[in-house]
A and B are shown apart, each in its own frame.
Chain A
Amino acid sequence: MDIATVKEYLKSYDGPQCTIMEVCGTHTATISQNGIPDMLSDKIRLISGPGCPVCVTVAAYIDRLLELALTQNTTVVTFGDMIRVRGTKLSLSDASAMGASVKTVYSPFEIIELAKADTGRNFVFAAVGFETTAPVYALIIERLINDNIKNVKLLTAIKTMPEAIRTVFAKNGKITGFLAPGHVSIITGYELFLDLAKKLQVPFVVSGFSGEELLLSVYALTKLKGGQALNMYTSVVTTEGNERAKEKLLKYFKITDAPWRGMGIIKNSGMVLKEEYGEFDAGSQNLISDSMYNSACKCADVISGMLSPCECPLFGGVCTPENPQGACMVSAKGACFHHYVNKRL
């Protein structure tokens, strides 16, 4: 079937109501940037899921980062997205103005060079992310050990997808299919989502990231039945995934229960450094408290697909990218940010 036929089908689709969740934040971005919602019939609704690492991080974690950044002789090193997310009260950006030491990087490996150049200072990386980013943190630990670097620690909030997807599916009740997280699948492999499809009796499609690939994947999800799954990103996603990355990850990290913004603690949905590597941990355990900066913020419901960003009472008024109240409006992968910036017609 050619792409023109797929487009025609999706625009005129008149079957049972489809509610499809894109789990991955980069898919959320692509969907908005390509204007895909405008190409679908009213009977196909796309909703964003818990696939933005910054969005699912709880306030206690940000508060701990602030505490570290304000500690004498300590620099917090982070991806840019994290800078403006507020914890209970303040963000790293606020703390920076108060004299905290915060450095933004594009690659986590930059912390190694920073630490070597200033051995008298302690550096802490804000190690948030999913299965995709986590192997990089494993490689950093390996470098720290091999190069005998003593002034770097990680504050981890590593999450894993399957149990979060299961929780969202149980809570939402309307989801008829999932666009599986593409980047995560590269590491975990397609089989993880095939297994999940069977267990939850809802279809999964592993999708690529171009507009056309997403249209084809949405098309597939209108056709698949519960328990079926399809890998449509075969150029990089294999059935078993990246064994080497998984192996590295499990060498340094172990599976644990993890707190998700608005969803509470989900069993076996995160990873922490194993006890024997505890010296590299900057106090990542027990950062559970999830009190929102603005109690009217509906980020939690947005992340689980219960509400569309524009259904939040703060959206576009009190809460804008210039003055974000919740993480979903801060992150370049956040659902609210994309709804605002690439306004859907």
Chain B
Amino acid sequence: MKITMAHGSGGRATSGLIENIFKKANSNPVLDAMEDSAVVDGDNKIAITTDSFVVTPLFYSGGDIGRLSVCGTVNDLLMRGAVPKYITSAYIIEEGADTEVLERIAVSMSKTAKEANVCLVCGDTKVIEGSGGIYINTTGVGFVKDGTDIKSSNCKAGDKIIVSGNMGDHHAAVLSHRMGIKNSIKSDNAPLNEMVLGMLENKIRIHALRDITRGGLGTVLNELSRSSDKCFLINEADIPVSDEVKSFSQILGLNIMHMGNEGKLVAVVDAEDADIALSVIRNSKYGEDAKIIGTVTEGNGVIMNTKIGGRRVVLELIGEGLPRIC
């Protein structure tokens, strides 16, 4: 069945859509009550974030817009040391979209929410003119324990810089799909609860966390450098990247430092805790390729020691990058 403007009317067609697709895919007491807003339990410090997802294609190797819309928001909560708890979803659907496609997305969203241990508590659906596009906004709420203070400006000289796995997978997977290139590259689309909560449980002195999405590692490190007024000194040889993504990027002239991910983070931790932090991340789901890639020093900017022994400055992504990657 195709989505028509009637599905966005707020009338019977809308409730049919909600009953047959969204309620089937997601069910819990708060959501099932179908009230105008969700009333939920809470803790003292609340983290809130919101994000909209416009990725094209809707399905790609290793993920889809449903999984992405949960992971993106959950990971943003985790990056402040918050335990993700609730999530909302708002769909903007262009007429002509296929209800089967919508159902697959809703089911994927539900599965990912379970994996990320968040409860989907409310949602909304709107239909607009167009040609079958689907866009999702999610808002997430999480709780921050007393004493947790993770933020970009906290990086200190001497801290170690850890990345949780291979760079560029999501970017390469989406681009391969768009260009019709067949390869085995999969998006890294994943919620990072286990590694972040694991570090918190192990009392790792985490100074800053950032998920590496659009703009890639180069952009994130420059933002951290500016916020904390420190220099980020990294070693090219230690930056993890799979052989396939490396070849893909070389052929297309892409810079690994500016390729996006959707399930990777940078952790800036106290040097004394770096080895334990690395082992916690490596032992977590999605963290097996984690590496310490460098050190925070006094100064500013991001400087890379290249593999062959040279040095250069790494800037943030300049220009367009790849549009509609998330």
Binding site for B on A (CB under 8 A): 7, 29, 32-39, 106, 211-212, 215, 320-322, 332, 340-345
Interface status of B303 (Cβ within 8 A of chain A): yes
Instruction: Report the Cα distance A95→B70, complex, angstroms.
Output: 39
Return 21 A-B CB contacts under 8 Å, by A number. Answer: A29-B253, A34-B307, A34-B312, A35-B305, A35-B306, A35-B308, A35-B310, A35-B311, A37-B310, A39-B308, A39-B310, A106-B252, A211-B307, A211-B310, A332-B253, A340-B315, A341-B315, A341-B318, A344-B312, A345-B311, A345-B312
**Ordered nearest first, which 7 A-B pairs have the shortest CB separation?**
A35-B310, A35-B312, A211-B308, A343-B313, A35-B306, A321-B318, A39-B310
Give chain A nearest CB distance to B91 CB in angstroms. 30
Residue contact B310 to A36, C-beta cutoff 8 Å: yes
Contacts of A34 in B (CB 8 A): 306-308, 310, 312
Binding site for A on B (CB under 8 A): 179, 252-253, 255, 303-315, 318-319
Contacts of A33 in B (CB 8 A): 255, 306, 312
Instruction: Report the Cα distance A101→B319, complex, angstroms.
Output: 21
Closest to B319 in A: A321
Give chain B nearest CB distance to A117 CB in angstroms. 14
Residue contact A211 to B306, C-beta cutoff 8 Å: yes
Instruction: Report the Cα distance A345→B314, complex, angstroms.
Output: 11
Contacts of B307 in A (CB 8 A): 34, 211
Closest to A32 in B: B312
Contact of A343 among B255, B310, B315 (CB under 8 A): B315
Closest to B301 in A: A343
Contacts of B318 in A (CB 8 A): 320-322, 340-341
Contacts of A215 in B (CB 8 A): 308
Contacts of B306 in A (CB 8 A): 33-35, 211
Give chain B nearest CB distance to A183 CB in angstroms. 13
Give chain A nearest CB distance to B77 CB in angstroms. 32
Give chain A nearest CB distance to B294 CB in angstroms. 15
Instruction: Report the Cα distance A273→B314, complex, angstroms.
Output: 43
Instruction: Report the Cα distance A257→B272, complex, angstroms.
Output: 66
Instruction: Report the Cα distance A215→B307, complex, angstroms.
Output: 13
Closest to A324 in B: B319
Contacts of A35 in B (CB 8 A): 304-306, 308, 310-312
Give chain B nearest CB distance to A343 CB in angstroms. 4
Residue contact B313 to A38, C-beta cutoff 8 Å: no
Instruction: Report the Cα distance A345→B309, complex, angstroms.
Output: 13
Contacts of A320 in B (CB 8 A): 318
Contact of A345 among B179, B303, B308, B315 (CB under 8 A): B303
Closest to A3 in B: B308
Give chain A nearest CB distance to B298 CB in angstroms. 17
